């Protein structure tokens, strides 16, 4: 069953015809997979490789290397959940698709998630280097993911539904 989201809204109580875009599930799926790959690969390169030494400066905050393998499934699940809902957000925010608009949304989402990093710095014994790395990582990661989703996701071409809005 196609999912629609409204592009125009009528005044309250007024019956007004409008167009609704039909979600392209196939493109959504590809965009979601691409977002997952971007988040996962960037996360590995940035947090696990580039920031590896910085993270080792606070060993009490991290699980021991031996434990990380058994918790890896939570990391994958977390990236999966993050990629899915971020793709849903992009599909709603930039339904026409566009890499630039997706990147802008990703940048703002990155800032939303940079806020909790600042709070973590105040309550956890993190170093300033880690704080800067996490903030830059969040912003860059979501900006790239947003650009990729924006470039891939487009609503179903030629499938604009003409509907009548109900009186509210």
Partner 1 sequence: MKRFILAFIAAYIFLFVWGWLLNGVLLKDLYAETPNLWRSQSEMAGLFHWIVIGQALVVFSFVMIYASGFAGGGVLAGIRLGVLLELAAIGMRLGFYAVQPIPGRLILYGSIGGLIEMVIVGAMVGAIYKPASAGTS
Residue for token digits 């196609």? Answer: 2
| Integer angstrom CA distances of residue 141 from 26, 47, 134, 159, 162 | 24, 11, 10, 32, 37
Nearer to partner 1, 92 or 164 (CB): 92
Nearest to 109 by CA among 81, 146, 78: 146
Binding of residue 115 to partner 1 (CB under 8 A): yes
Is residue 44 at the binding interface for partner 1, with CB under 8 A as the rule? no
- Structure tokens that stand for 150 in this block: 């924006």
* Torsion angle of C-alpha atoms 43, 107, 152, 161, degrees rounded to 10: 140
Residues in region 126-165 near partner 1 by CB under 8 A: none
Q: Which of 23, 105, 144, 152 binds partner 1 (CB under 8 A)?
A: 105
Does 94 help bind partner 1 (rule: CB under 8 A)? yes
CB nearer to partner 1: give 125 or 158: 125
Is 114 strand, coil or helix? Answer: helix
CB atoms within 10 A of CB 74: 9
List the one residue from 3, 50, 118, 163 that touches partner 1 (CB under 8 A): 118
**One residue of 38, 51, 82, 144 binding partner 1 per CB under 8 A:** 82
By beta-carbon proximity to partner 1, the closer residue of 1 and 122 is: 122
Interaction between residue 81 and partner 1 (CB under 8 A): yes
- Measured in whole angstroms, the distance separating CA 141 from the mean position of its chain's CA atoms is 9
Site residues (vs partner 1, CB under 8 A): 9, 43, 60-63, 67-68, 71-75, 77-86, 88-89, 92-94, 104-105, 108-109, 111-119, 121-125
């Amino acid at each position: 069953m196609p999912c629609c989201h409204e592009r125009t809204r009528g005044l309250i109580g007024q019956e007004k015809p409008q167009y609704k875009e039909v979600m392209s599930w196939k493109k959504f799926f590809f965009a979601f997979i691409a977002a997952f790959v971007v988040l996962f690969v960037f996360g590995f390169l940035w947090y696990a490789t580039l920031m590896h030494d910085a993270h080792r400066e606070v060993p009490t905050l991290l699980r021991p290397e031996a434990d990380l393998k058994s918790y890896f499934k939570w990391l994958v699940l977390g990236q999966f959940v993050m990629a899915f809902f971020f793709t849903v957000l992009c599909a709603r925010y930039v339904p026409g698709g566009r890499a630039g608009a997706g990147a802008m949304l990703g940048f703002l989402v990155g800032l939303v998630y940079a806020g909790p990093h600042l709070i973590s710095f105040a309550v956890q014994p993190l170093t300033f280097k880690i704080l800067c790395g996490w903030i830059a990582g969040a912003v860059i990661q979501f900006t790239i993911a947003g650009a990729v989703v924006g470039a891939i996701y487009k609503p179903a071409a030629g499938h604009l539904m003409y509907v009548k809005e109900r009186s509210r």
